[in-house]
Structure 1
Amino acid sequence: MENENSVQLIAGINPVREALVAGRSFESVTIQNDLKNQRLFEILKIARQRKIPVNLVPHAKLDKIYKGNHQGVLARCSVKEYASLDTILIAVNEKKESPFLLIPEGVEDPQNLGALVRTALCAGMHGIILPRTGAAGLSYGTEKASAGAITYMDITRVNDMPATLKSLKEQGIRIVGCESGQGRSLHDADLSGPIALVLGGENVGIRPHVRRNLDEVVHIPSQGPIGSLNVSAAGAVVIFEAVRQRACKARKHKD
């Protein structure tokens, strides 16, 4: 495991609550002293149960500490650690499930990455693989955009994405990229088996050194005058199409 900074400041009810519930290490929690929101009471209760120092302060003091929307709570807690890819794959094997991975290749905006983390968690994906360079990583912006989902998702990052993709393929995992106007419709593709879904960056799409290692490219059919979705919206569409296909396949096997 690795992280870049041992402690970070996080803000907002969901990110703080989920980090508390997940057992991450905290230095302190600071909450506005006008506790009208029941969810702030819940955070206060959990923090005190875990014997974490709690500061009750006026809302104005929180505004001075943090310029964004803090929702009445700030916390200093440990940074989310990266998992290893081996750990992710071993966990999948132990569950006897078909690997279901996400690779946001070159996604630079922490807001988009955070939204994708939340989607992946809700879809039951097993892990997310990030490139070490040229893309957003685990940060406060990513954590806040995920609304706490980042706490529960296994995320790794790799130095050599092409080599990683080749290794995944050797383990029977298909690598499928999604790009606007490229390949066949995702509704005509088989997304039901062991799969890693690759999403390109906001500006350049899937980069050539990654594209060369794809087994297939699919696109999302669009009807309106604007031909593409942003990467977090596109990711949600393709991820849940894969969820649908995997569920259909599982039902057929039961029958």
Structure 2
Amino acid sequence: MEKGQQIFGIRAIIEAIQSGTEIDKVFIQKDSHGELMRELLKVLKEHNINYAQVPVEKLNRLGNRNHQGAIATVSPISFQDLDELIVSLSEAGKTPLFLVLDGVSDARNFGAIIRTAECTGVHGIIISKQGSAPVNGDTVKTSAGAVFNVPICKVDHIKDAVFHLQASGIKTVAATEKTHTDLYEVDLKEPVAIIMGSEDKGVNPSVLKVVDEKAKLPMFGTISSLNVSVACGAFLYEAIRQRS
């Protein structure tokens, strides 16, 4: 099965999951019932696959009216294990530069961020299995193909990923306006993971409580925030400036 395509129908999706196909997200018709649908929901939960219950009109717009109440998107990439990636970087003697996306849900923003991450030599991008932007055609196009060059790790919870990074000797720095520390005061030369929040809410407060440092970009205009992909670029290029 080609990556990036869609799978239509409940039974087809169940069989794809059980055969090991890398499913990015499943859309299920809202208020849909039946034994087969219950089986699908069970399989999705067992494999921790992101799904959303949507109106039938949404399913129809996805391109095939013979969907039987469920459509799955096949990821165009294979996701990597975070622990294995950290170990491989250590063995290669590299100073890790990770990017953690806490709730970035727009596919185009996600693609733009991946493109910048690839250009700045980011070693890995960490996203949550739930609530993150899908890796779809828009992501691939906006990233200019960079999505195939940067390792992407899916985790159950961003907060747990932060703890794991810290335990691995990687400093965590959250981008937030809720601090007096400018980005340019933070040491980014050491192993570091930069955490960027969602477009509307920023980094989750529970994550902010456990990070090592917080940093903000100085703002001089009347608008109080930047687009997340632009802010991400500013943070990453400051890391490159310090490391050069």
Q: TM-score of the superposition, structure 2-length normalised? A: 0.68
Counterpart of 1:8?
Answer: 4
Whether 1:110 and 2:107 are equivalent positions in the alignment is yes
Aligned runs of 1:125-136 on 2, under 5 Å?
125-136=122-133
Q: Does 1:170 align with 2:175?
A: no
Determine the structure 1 residue equivalent to 2:148. 151
2:82 aligns with one of 82, 85, 94: 85
Q: CA RMSD in A?
A: 2.0
After the TM superposition, list the runs of 4 or more consecutive aligned residues in structure 1 that deviate by more than 6 angstroms: none
Say whether the 8 Å CA contact 2:198–2:228 is kept in structure 1: yes
Whether contact under 8 Å (2:75, 2:136) holds in the other structure is no
The number of aligned residues is 178
1:97 and 2:94 aligned? yes
> Structure 2 vs 1, CA of residues 163 and 181 (structure 1 numbering), >3 Å: closer, same or farther?
closer
* Structure 1 position 165, deviation (Å): 1.0
SS of structure 2 residue aligned to 1:7:
coil
Q: Which amino acid aligns with 2:229?
A: S
Cα 1:230–1:78, aligned 2, differ >3 Å: closer, same or farther?
closer
Task: Give deviations 1:207-251, integer Å, cap 9, x for gaps.
Answer: 12211221111000122222221000000001110111122xxxx
| Deviation, structure 1 residue 8 | 2.1
Over alpha carbons, which structure has the higher Rg? 1
Q: Which residue of the partner structure matches residue 205 of structure 2? A: 208
Equivalent-residue separation in structure 1 for 2:228 and 2:179 (angstroms): 15
1:50 — aligned with what? none
5+ residue gaps, structure 1 = 10-65, 67-76, 248-255
State the distance in 2 between where 1:236 and 1:78 align.
Answer: 25
On the 8 A contact 1:130/1:137 being kept in 2, the answer is no
Aligned letter for 2:90?
N
Deviation at 1:138, TM superposition (A): 1.7
Unpaired segments of 5 or more residues in structure 2? Answer: 6-62, 64-73
Amino acid at match of 1:235: C
The TM-score, its normalising length taken from structure 1, stands at 0.66
The worse-fitting range, judged by mean Cα deviation, of 77-86 and 215-224 is 77-86
Match in the other structure for 1:24: none
Alignment of structure 1 residues 25-104 onto 2, 5 Å:
79-104=76-101
2:224 is aligned with what amino acid? G
Q: How big is the shift at 1:93? A: 1.4
Aligned partner of residue 8 in structure 1, secondary structure: coil
